[in-house]
Structure 1
Amino acid sequence: MTATLNETTLDAPVDVRFTAAGTPLAVRYDGRVWAVAAEPVHWFERDSWWATRRTAPVDVGNVVDIEHWRLQVRLSSASALRTFELRRDPLSEQWLLESITDN
């Protein structure tokens, strides 16, 4: 699957390689490895648990913070930058590629 500019939500599973400090280093998507080429932006959003009606077992930990990264990536030093937005839901270890835009 290759993304186009008009796609807003992909929700495609991706593999993310992190540095020892926990910063994304590279993303494997669509059979290719995209290297992070600029300082990433990291933030959290609160899940609308009242709307999704998720329940969680007692003592499971944080079930409302959705983790996000905005990464500028490229395939090689000669290729154009693209922006990937990644998301990880609170009870999941799987990163999802939410969107791709050209810079």
Structure 2
Amino acid sequence: MTLAPEKPQTMQDVAVRFSPDGTPLAIRHDGRIWMVDPDVHAAHWFTRDAWWETRSRAAIGTGDLVSVEYWQVQATLPSASVELRTFTLRRQPLASEWVLESVS
């Protein structure tokens, strides 16, 4: 039996650079810029947030309060021979910043 290493849970804010079509190109994490590999499929999905459990009311015209956006991409450091790492990025409803949920 082989034990797989656990995914480090980070929950840190990260800066993400996007292409004009909205696909992640690079991630600034831990003082480094990780380049997203364009040849590896990037997963993009949405889940629903239970906004009624965290907010007492939603003002009319507030916007989308329930869609949590995710990207999962493969990235590497451009100047080093480091193997690809999987980054899972999350953005809460109405947020402008991205959070690094995990990297493995």
TM-score class normalised by the smaller sequence: 0.7 to 0.9
What's the secondary structure of 2:9's corresponding residue? coil
Provide the rounded CA distance (Å) in 1 between the counterparts of 2:56 and 2:33. Answer: 34
Moved more, 16-25 or 49-58: 49-58
Identity of aligned residues (%): 45
1:71–1:54: structure 2 CA closer, same or farther, 3 Å change rule?
Answer: farther
TM-score by length of 2: 0.84
Q: Judging changes above 3 Å, is the alpha-carbon distance between structure 1 residues 54 and 65 closer, same or farther for their aligned structure 2 residues?
A: farther
Distance 2:47 2:63 in 1: 16
Superimposed CA distance per residue, residues 24-70 of structure 1 (whole angstroms, 9 cap, x where no aligned partner): 00000000000001221100000022332353321021110000000
Distance in 2 of aligned mates of 1:54 and 1:30: 35
Structure 1 alignment gaps of length 5 or more: none
Residue 55 (structure 2) pairs with residue 53 (structure 1): yes
Measure the CA separation in 2 of the matches of 1:65 and 1:99. Answer: 19
TM-score after normalising by structure 1? 0.84
Q: Report the 3-state secondary structure (helix = DSSP H, G, I; strand = E; otherwise coil) of the residue aligned with 1:51.
A: helix
Matches within 5 A, 1:1-103: 6=6, 8-37=8-37, 38-53=40-55, 55-76=57-78, 78-101=81-104
In 2, distance between residues paired with 1:54 and 1:73? 39
1:24/1:62 Cα in 2 relative to 1: closer, same or farther (>3 Å)? same
**Any stretches of 5+ residues in structure 2 without a counterpart?**
none
**How many positions carry a matched residue from both structures?**
97
Distance in 1, Cα, partners of 2:20 & 2:30: 25
Cα deviation for residue 10 of structure 1 reads 1.5
Structure 1 stretches (4+) deviating beyond 6 angstroms? none
